[in-house]
Amino acid sequence: MSLQHEMILILDFGSQYTQLIARRVREQNVYCEIVPFNADLAKYGNYNLKGYILSGGPSSVLDKDSPLLPLSFFDTSLPVLGICYGQHLMAYRLGGRLTQATTREYGRATVTVKSEGRLLKDVEHSSQAWMSHGDSLDALPEGFVTLAETADIPFAAIANDDKQFYGVQFHPEVAHTIEGKKVLRNFLFDICGVTGDWTTESFIESSIADLKKTIGTDNVILGISGGVDSTVTAALLHRAVGDQMTAIFVNNGLLRKNEYEDVIESYQVLGINLKPVDASKKFLDRLTGVIDPEKKRKIIGETFIEVFDEAAKANGKAQWLAQGTLYPDVIESVSFKGPSATIKSHHNVGGLPENMNLMIVEPLRELFKDEVRDLGRKLGLAESFIGRHPFPGPGLAVRIIGEITEDCLSVLREADAIYIDELRQSDQYDKIWQAFAVLLPVQSVGVMGDQRTYENVIALRAVTSTDGMTADWAIIPPEVLARISNRIINEVKGVNRVCYDISSKPPATIEWE
């Protein structure tokens, strides 16, 4: 992001929807950042700041320790939009009156426009909006007027055009608020006067210039997993610094069928300097006899660091370590409680040794996942690649319940490949957030021909989700499940039973270990 880009700052008061506000703003090609409500705003003095959005939050403005803004904040000449708690806070600080509620209003409400003003220009006279609040406003501060109401709330949207201060009780960022997008657009384009200059092309251009300047003639290494984030990072760095960047791809022996070879080939096609390291034996030796899932993860993590460190040293002098960190990782590590809260550092490759002495470069740290996918497309990555399901760092180790052996890996790889192949062929793959097979440590009785069998059970997992934090089991048509099961039992030696996992997260997790 260059200093010239138009920018909106979202002050976070702890709402579960704050990231959604940011995504909705970005979808309008407007760059925005989320900062804690008590961040030092003077830092943004050199930016092309166009307005503020005050997020919702779980607190009551009337509580003793509620997060507030100093009155001086409202001396700003920039437009401000307060959402829910943000609206209460603005109104309260400017002299309005609030009533503390005993219960929360949660869910759909009908908003009726009384006077469009600038904020509600062209918004339907009556439309559904999403509410989630306790307190409500019962007297406006001086200079404010009402733009909309609901059956229960007289001040569903308020405005002070002179000051360019606006507030909404409902959540325009939530899909259930039918006119939400229009309200946000009005605020951004008509009130803040942005033009929408945040596009993937402009990001590529400015970030390549930044990377060239930052890295200069130095060398960069990057650990890649074959996943979308690390590959887009590699492709972008490759555009910026060419062969000064080396991508290191460690085969931990826990990859899916043909994955190691496929990744090597796709990097060749992209012309990216790739150094593959086959360390499968080292990983699998260390995992022999290990059953405890956390122990598996620990061994894999430590071995990865060791192998990566050796490969990096063997590759000569690199001054920079690149990582595919995304914006949600960055904001999640900054609590809304603000600068005083502990800031956890984020390492995609998990705590590389400090003695590597590398400077960190994270070219995607301003982007959301959907923006990364767009970027990948513009950088020439194939659509099939962009839509790939996430795959965990410890790979198949957390999908073989119990001890990991070569035989188990081979059974699981075959079953998983059939499963994914059938999902793709039946057009189910892109509807699912993540799908994979799991090998269970039990044998069950079956019959094949005239023979009794006593063989392995494969569990199929498929979930829908937006971020992996919560998930629902995916509904796959029965005929597709039937084909998958038939093929696995017929084609994978050692499997005589296939089950489908119908647990949502929570209380289950997506992976089985």
Mind spelling out the 3-state secondary structure of 350-403? CCCCHHHCCEEECCCCCCCHHHHHHHHHHCCCCHHHHCCCCCCCCHHHHCECCC
Q: Hey, CA dihedral for 330, 332, 337, 340, is it positive or negative? A: negative
Does residue number 468 form part of the binding site for ligand XMP (CB under 6 A)? Answer: yes
Q: Hey, CA dihedral for 127, 133, 138, 143, is it positive or negative? A: negative
Q: Let me know: does 72 contact 48? Beta carbons within 8 Å.
A: no
220-224 and 245-251 as β-strands: parallel, antiparallel, unpaired?
parallel
Site for ligand XMP in 469-508 (CB under 6 A): 505
Question: With respect to ligand XMP, which residue has the nearer C-beta, 130 or 304?
Answer: 304
The question of whether 238 is a catalytic residue gets the answer no
- Residue range at the interface with ligand XMP (CB under 6 A); choices 74-82, 96-104, 388-396, 437-445: 388-396
Q: How far is the CB of 395 from ligand XMP (least distance, A)?
A: 9
Q: Who contacts 116 (Cβ-Cβ below 8 Å, separation ≥6)?
A: 122, 123, 147
Question: With respect to ligand XMP, which residue has the nearer C-beta, 90 or 300?
Answer: 300
Options 84, 192, 238, 422, the catalytic residue: 84
How big is the site for ligand XMP, counted in residues (CB under 6 A)? 11
Residue 469 DSSP code: S
Q: How far is the CB of 393 from ligand XMP (least distance, A)?
A: 3
Query: How many Å apart are CA 336 and CA 354, to the nearest integer?
Result: 29
- Residue range at the interface with ligand XMP (CB under 6 A); choices 134-142, 172-180, 375-383, 387-395: 387-395
The question of whether 499 is a catalytic residue gets the answer no
The question of whether 171 is a catalytic residue gets the answer yes
Options 33, 171, 371, 455, the catalytic residue: 171
Site for ligand XMP in 434-453 (CB under 6 A): 434
Site for ligand XMP in 72-101 (CB under 6 A): none
Question: With respect to ligand XMP, which residue has the nearer C-beta, 191 or 400?
Answer: 400
- Which residue bears the tokens 């008590």? 38
Q: How far is the CB of 458 from ligand XMP (least distance, A)?
A: 18
Question: With respect to ligand XMP, which residue has the nearer C-beta, 453 or 504?
Answer: 504
Does residue number 325 form part of the binding site for ligand XMP (CB under 6 A)? Answer: no
Query: How many Å apart are CA 472 and CA 65, to the nearest integer?
Result: 37
320-322 and 274-278 as β-strands: parallel, antiparallel, unpaired?
unpaired
Q: How far is the CB of 513 from ligand XMP (least distance, A)?
A: 8
Residue from 392, 414, 456, 484 in contact with ligand XMP (CB under 6 A) = 392
Site for ligand XMP in 280-299 (CB under 6 A): 297
Does residue number 393 form part of the binding site for ligand XMP (CB under 6 A)? Answer: yes
Does residue number 5 form part of the binding site for ligand XMP (CB under 6 A)? Answer: no
- Which residue bears the tokens 């790979």? 395
Does residue number 509 form part of the binding site for ligand XMP (CB under 6 A)? Answer: yes
Options 33, 173, 259, 366, the catalytic residue: 173
Residue from 390, 402, 446, 494 in contact with ligand XMP (CB under 6 A) = 390
Q: How far is the CB of 118 from ligand XMP (least distance, A)?
A: 42
CA distances from 380 to 249, 272, 367, 385 (A): 20, 12, 18, 10
Q: Let me know: does 463 contact 473? Beta carbons within 8 Å.
A: yes
SS3 19: helix
Based on its alpha-carbon atoms, the radius of gyration of the chain, rounded to whole angstroms, reads: 26
Site for ligand XMP in 339-358 (CB under 6 A): none
Question: With respect to ligand XMP, which residue has the nearer C-beta, 4 or 509?
Answer: 509
Query: How many Å apart are CA 207 and CA 188, to the nearest integer?
Result: 24
Q: List phi, psi (to 5°) of 157.
A: -150, 135
Does residue number 510 form part of the binding site for ligand XMP (CB under 6 A)? Answer: yes
- Which residue bears the tokens 């060239």? 212
Q: How far is the CB of 242 from ligand XMP (least distance, A)?
A: 29
User: What's CA 170's distance to the chain center, in Å?
Assistant: 24
Site for ligand XMP in 394-413 (CB under 6 A): 394
User: What's CA 386's distance to the chain center, in Å?
Assistant: 14
245-251 and 359-361 as β-strands: parallel, antiparallel, unpaired?
unpaired
| Strand partners of residue 223 | 248
Does residue number 56 form part of the binding site for ligand XMP (CB under 6 A)? Answer: no
- Residue range at the interface with ligand XMP (CB under 6 A); choices 57-65, 150-158, 386-394, 487-495: 386-394
> Nearest to residue 128, comparing CAs of 84, 83, 172, 187?
172
Q: How far is the CB of 438 from ligand XMP (least distance, A)?
A: 11
Residues in touch with ligand XMP (CB under 6 A):
297, 390, 392-394, 434, 468, 505, 509-511
Q: Catalytic residues, which ones?
A: 84, 171, 173
